[in-house]
Amino acid sequence: MVQRELSSIILNNENESVELKQNAAEKLIALNRKHRLEMPKQVGLMICKKCHVLYDTNNSRTRIKHGQLIISCLKCESVRRIGGGPKSHRRR
């Protein structure tokens, strides 16, 4: 219940402040750790796993290279690769 409300605050694109969204992200991470809950997929892709900052155009770089989504956090320099790349279907 609370997890859904925090997720809706983060995903809401209206005129809510960045500080409110960042605070909701930190609370959601703490809640998920405490109760061993799974992070909602849409929200998990928006949060840096290393420094827990919400990705936006000012603090992240998003690229697509060889069919793979690459998200780089400009604050902590961590890199997330999502997807298997061009030949992922050929793995044994």
Domain locations along the chain: 1-47, 49-92
Mean pLDDT of all residues in the chain?
Answer: 90
Task: Show Cβ contacts of residue 7 under 8 Å, excluding neighbours closer than 6 positions.
Answer: 28, 40, 42, 43
For residues 10 and 2, the answer to whether their CB atoms sit within 8 Å is: no
Three-state secondary-structure class, residue 65 = strand
Q: How far apart are CA 43 and CA 67, in angstroms?
A: 22
Q: How far apart are CA 71 and CA 60, in angstroms?
A: 7
Closest of 47, 46, 35 to residue 1, by C-alpha = 35
> Does the pLDDT at position 91 exceed 70?
no
**How does pLDDT run across 25-54, given as a tens digit for each residue?**
999 999 999 999 999 999 999 999 999 999
What pTM did the predictor assign?
A: 0.80
> Does the pLDDT at position 18 exceed 70?
yes
* More confident: 84 or 21: 21
